[in-house]
Amino acid sequence: MVAISTGSLDIWSIIVSIGLFLLGMHLLEQGLQGIGSKSLKQFLQAQTNSPLKGVFTGTVVTAFLQSSSLVGLIVLAFVGAGMLEMRNALGVTLGSNLGTTVTGWMLAVLGFKLDLAKFYQPLVAIGAFVTVFLPAGHRPYYLGNLVLGLGLLLMGLGTLITSLENLVPQLDTNILRGQSLLVYCLVGTVLTALVQSSSVIMMVILSALHAGVITVNEAIPIAIGSNVGTTSTVLLGALEGLVEKRRVAYAHFIFNLTTAIVALLCLPMFVYIIRNVFGISDPLFMLVVFHSLFNLLGILLFLPLLDPFIVLLNWMAPERNTELFATAYIHKVSSAVADGAIEAVRKELTRMLFNAIRLNMHSFQIHTHAVFDANSELLAGEPLRYVTRYEQEYKLLKQTESEVLGYTYAIQRNAKEEEDLRLVTQLNHAVRNATYAAKFIKDIGHNLADFRVSPSGTVHDLYANFCLYVTGNYHGLVTLMALPAGSHTANEYIELYRQVRRGYEWYLNEIYMVVGADKHLNHEIANLLNINRATYLSTTALFEAVRVLLNLEEDILAGVQTIPQPRKILNQESQ
């Protein structure tokens, strides 16, 4: 039996210690996200162009953030947005497991060698005052989170060490002895699944080992089990999640389970190497070295097998029917990760622009190959077929707009960086402009149909020339979208806009000179002027959306002769 004095509150002290440690980790993660999340995400994206680099990056970033779940969230967002290949993402996932072992090293090296109260008291005091009295959302506030989180981590560790040391004389530890390795593994798995943090379990194991509650031979299999238990959160969250999320969750589970089995089978060899090759006899260091070694072994086992591993994951989590979504990217990316979410919105905007142009081409009866080529389909991410069901596809465009705008509002609620908020606001306007561009032409569809069957040769010729002008504009815009960003892009953008302006003025003159000269066609002038104006507004709306897509300056057309800016007209609600 385990006997504990009823007059003691050591059990509650242990629970409070774990709670403080968890709260500290939460505040530390929040502070790090607020201060340096942008740089970390850029580093993660830039340093993951191969699985090996992904492993290194996952290790470093997880060690810095002390949160493999946060790294996993960022990775999933980047995969969903097409910013990161699955095989490289798996490299990051493998590396994040190794990164979590840094917590154990920090505790073993510093946590049990220093008087923690001297460190956590000033940290908690300063961090608490900064967090309470400074306004949220600014850098000093997140620095306060960081300091308070670190202080609470140390405070939780310090109180746990003291509590376990006080508990040992009251505890009959014999009941913990003599169990099989599988039992200890199961204990580690269940405890980690309940607490939802392998770092916390490592803190408890190390503290118990330091206090003499358990031996190193019992601590090691518990640590192995904690690696399996840490996958429970991701697995539960991915059951009905996106296909990419399920694949990464399955990968995490298979990797950790396989690594745990190998570690158990090779346990005597590991212990021999640690004691006789590395010459380590301190139980604390034996545990953290083992924890790092068996995670490193798992990486070495899986890294050469990533390609067949991905085939297995694709079989375990096949693509589902996504017809319920009008969008193709945003439902794969969490809005909480601004970088990945913004990139997903950019890809949806690209699709919307292509589809708006397709709808307009249908109204003008312009053939698909006159505007699009193979590169266009690559950029759009899907085949660019001719429109056959105009009303349905227009409604789909409107549904896409609605889904994207709802998603961008979610990004704005989560975004902490001013630059992210600015980009999302611009993308919001661009998405609406893409829909407006189709609406303007939809509204004159009946006029275009009338002119196609007009008995007048003059009107027929004007219409044919106008279609050539519109075809050139659309082809120019599609070509522009495929250009790499830079000053050359800006020059191309301005020149194409001038071409659009010249075409508008040319057609305006033709209406008055050619049609106006024939009094039998005077009744057609108003309709022709309406077509010209609506087409110009539509094309300018496309231009404004493409400007945002290409990250061009808002005043890029300053000094270019224009008619009144259509953006002021576009504030009306689309129907």
Q: What digits encode the pLDDT tens for the residues 328-383?
A: 888 878 787 788 889 889 999 999 999 999 999 999 999 888 888 877 776 767 77
324 domain residue, yes or no: no
Among 283, 201, 230, which residue's Cα sits nearest to residue 21? 201
Judge whether residue 241 has pLDDT over 60: no
What is the rounded (10 degree) CA torsion for 532, 536, 538, 544? 180
Neighbours of 473 (CB within 10 A): 25
Last residue in a domain, options 292, 316, 340 = 316
Among 183, 225, 180, which residue's Cα sits nearest to residue 202? 225
DSSP category for residue 135: P
- Cβ burial 153-165 (10 Å sphere, 16+ → b, else e): bbbbbbbbbbbbe
| Percent share of the chain, pLDDT over 70 | 80
The total domain count for the chain is 2
- 188 plus 236 within the same structural domain: yes
- Mean pLDDT of all residues in the chain? 80
Could you tell me if 549 and 423 are in contact, meaning their C-beta atoms sit under 8 angstroms apart? no
Task: Please tell me the distance from the alpha carbon of residue 24 to that of residue 94, in angstroms, as a whole number.
Answer: 25
pLDDT, residue 506, reads 87
Among 497, 342, 368, which residue's Cα sits nearest to residue 430? 342
Among 506, 528, 516, which residue's Cα sits nearest to residue 448? 528
Task: Please tell me the distance from the alpha carbon of residue 105 to that of residue 71, in angstroms, as a whole number.
Answer: 20
Q: Looking up tokens 């490592």, which residue turns up?
A: 202
pLDDT category of residue 114 using cuts at 50, 70 and 90: low
2 domain residue, yes or no: no
- 297 plus 375 within the same structural domain: no
Task: Please tell me the distance from the alpha carbon of residue 34 to that of residue 70, in angstroms, as a whole number.
Answer: 13
pLDDT, residue 120, reads 78
- 203 plus 283 within the same structural domain: yes
168-186: average pLDDT:
68
Last residue in a domain, options 316, 346, 367 = 316
Q: What angle do CA 8, 20, 212 make, to 5 degrees?
A: 55
- 182 plus 233 within the same structural domain: yes
- 211 plus 146 within the same structural domain: yes
Q: How far is CA 334 from CA 294, 350, 441, 460, in A?
A: 32, 19, 34, 51
- 311 plus 388 within the same structural domain: no
User: Can you state the angle between helices 338-364 and 525-549, rounded to 10 degrees?
Assistant: 160
CATH number for the domain including 353?
1.20.58
- 171 plus 264 within the same structural domain: yes
Cβ-based burial of 572 (10 A; exposed 0-12, middle 13-18, buried ≥19): exposed
The amino acid at residue 375 is N
151-159: average pLDDT:
79
- Characterise 166 by phi-psi region: left (phi > 0), alpha (psi -120 to 50), beta (else): alpha
Could you tell me if 440 and 537 are in contact, meaning their C-beta atoms sit under 8 angstroms apart? yes
- 43 plus 134 within the same structural domain: yes
Task: Give the up-direction half-sphere exposure of residue 207: CA atoms within 13 A in the CB hemisphere.
Answer: 26
Judge whether residue 222 has pLDDT over 50: yes
pLDDT, residue 32, reads 66
- 295 plus 370 within the same structural domain: no
DSSP category for residue 565: P
Task: Please tell me the distance from the alpha carbon of residue 242 to that of residue 18, in angstroms, as a whole number.
Answer: 32
- The CA R_g of the chain, rounded to the nearest whole Å, is 31
Q: How far is CA 95 from CA 103, 107, 174, 364, 372, in A?
A: 14, 20, 38, 54, 42
Kindly report which listed range (147-156, 276-285, 289-298) carries the lowest average pLDDT score.
Answer: 147-156
- 452 plus 566 within the same structural domain: yes
pLDDT category of residue 400 using cuts at 50, 70 and 90: very high
pLDDT tens digits for 297-315?
889 988 888 888 888 888 8
- 139 plus 231 within the same structural domain: yes
338 domain residue, yes or no: yes
Task: Please tell me the distance from the alpha carbon of residue 268 to that of residue 290, in angstroms, as a whole number.
Answer: 11
Structural domain including 182 reads: 10-316
Stated pTM of the model: 0.69
325 domain residue, yes or no: no
Last residue in a domain, options 286, 316, 346 = 316
412 domain residue, yes or no: yes
pLDDT category of residue 433 using cuts at 50, 70 and 90: very high
pLDDT category of residue 98 using cuts at 50, 70 and 90: confident
Cβ-based burial of 199 (10 A; exposed 0-12, middle 13-18, buried ≥19): buried
Among 50, 53, 47, 92, which residue's Cα sits nearest to residue 73? 92
3 domain residue, yes or no: no
> Comparing 216 with 82, which gets the higher pLDDT?
216
pLDDT, residue 404, reads 94
Kindly state the tokens that stand for 362: 């249908």
Judge whether residue 242 has pLDDT over 50: yes
- 248 plus 364 within the same structural domain: no
Task: Please tell me the distance from the alpha carbon of residue 91 to that of residue 70, in angstroms, as a whole number.
Answer: 16
53 domain residue, yes or no: yes
530 domain residue, yes or no: yes
Kindly state the tokens that stand for 175: 């009941």
Task: Please tell me the distance from the alpha carbon of residue 160 to that of residue 380, in angstroms, as a whole number.
Answer: 56
Among 475, 495, 478, 484, which residue's Cα sits nearest to residue 546? 478
Q: What angle do CA 232, 236, 237 make, to 5 degrees?
A: 115
